[in-house]
A and B are shown apart, each in its own frame.
Chain A
């Protein structure tokens, strides 16, 4: 089975693109499944189900979403293999812009949209900067010049990525994208593989449920802003 990680800020168009791309994959006889990761709630799994796509959803709830992802991803891969899919796609939102679910040797996709502003590519960390494929959405809403400027900003922070414009609503570009989705290697397990980047360190008193504010309640990994500069 092949495995692909797709991530990107909320509402950037991940689900729409994956749905359209799976259409194109299915036309070519490639059976695809999806694992959807979210925090509190999502109905996206119903969209996949409606199209007969095998889907599982994972809600991280009170846990850091990317820590939740990495502790469950191997089980997801095993689920996909059991379902007999040729390709499994994981979809997750990069909520703090620092995290990235991307794994070494596994095709990594980041989705961002033209409406998010020209400086956004700078603000997104390894999720964008270490992706193999960057998909830019909502190009139909902005002008040609803005599309060009935005794409060149993405290229500045990730010069080696394949950058594509895809439209999740019309499906423009999804056929083309589907040809890239089948490029990865077959895997049986993710055990022993490495994340492309470390996740932010956690474990302070607030991780453990502390709610009171003030120095005397702060323990563990605490760092202070420099207010003097």
Chain B
């Protein structure tokens, strides 16, 4: 293929590439080669361009785009965690398979090695990280090239920091993400994501709200909806979703419905009980895998009521109301 001879009108993404190199396209009925050849030596030097490397880059870019648009997604049905050892070299007795639609929690004190576990998963560790762990995808050793693939990135990460630095409205922001992913109908997808985010957020926002003025809860809701529907990564790592302003149950349901594998570092009892298992980290190693028991789940009803109560009190405060006298406010029916 000679990408430099493709007509820009028929392959509009070539325009993005050319603009990325500071080239101006006046007439779209042309090719990269024609635009390039019209430049003087001086202009090329100013733009930092050389024919050979430029066209090589363009061909690489077009190849990537074509692969991406043909790609039906990176099918991951399960990941398997094979134990290595902790910081003292004690072996981890673990062989844990996590299927799509499943939520697994990770618990352990700060500095115990949670991040390393998450990093091992992201890196598709093959006994070649400091923990000696191994990761299988769909029961098999994954191809090492996946480690550096942006399109087939295994893991999307929702961290506690969900700040936005771009000066865009919620709609423009999501649309930009959709476009970078080459989805077919970005406008429609964007509207759907904002609608879903509003179902999660306590207070709704409009598409033209600047992302920088979203509240903490709204930002988290938008990011979770965006990750569920726009991120290609089949595994979602969540680093403790904070309490305020978001329906956590709905948020988890959304991710699970989209068949994500959810790994969540949390010490919040409600979130922890949403997981089918808990991985306990100690001294840099997996000390134990605990299955959530029915007995534990029994307390979930009570915890939810407590949570609702707190939420109600928060809303009372938000709307300028007064809290009930203490005894009365803490009576919960189970």
Mark A residues whose CB is within 8 Å of B: 27, 98, 114-115, 117-118, 121-122, 125-126, 129-130, 140-146, 148-149, 151-153, 155-160, 162-164, 170, 172-173, 175-176, 179, 197-198, 201
Contact = CB atoms under 8 A, between A and B. Distances in A.
30 contacts: A118-B176, A122-B22, A126-B48, A129-B48, A130-B53, A141-B161, A141-B163, A141-B165, A143-B163, A144-B156, A144-B226, A144-B227, A145-B173, A145-B174, A145-B177, A145-B231, A148-B231, A149-B176, A149-B177, A152-B150, A152-B180, A152-B181, A153-B20, A155-B150, A159-B60, A159-B63, A163-B148, A163-B150, A170-B115, A197-B48
A198 B53 CA distance: 13
Contacts of B159: 140, 144
A162 B144 CA distance: 13
Contacts of A149: 176-177, 180
A146 B148 contact: no
Given A115-B165, A130-B53, A159-B57, A144 B17 contact: no
Nearest to A147: B157
B64 A146 contact: no
Contacts of A143: 162-164, 219, 223, 226
Interface in B9-54: 16-17, 19-22, 45, 47-48, 50, 53
Name the interface size band of chain B: 35 or more
Give the interface SS of chain B, mostly helix, strand, loop or mixed. Answer: helix
Interface of B: 16-17, 19-22, 45, 47-48, 50, 53, 56-57, 60-61, 63-64, 115, 119, 123, 128-130, 147-148, 150, 156-159, 161-166, 173-174, 176-177, 180-181, 219, 223, 226-227, 230-231
Contact of B64 (A145, A159, A164, A201): A159
Given A163-B148, A198-B45, A122 B19 contact: yes
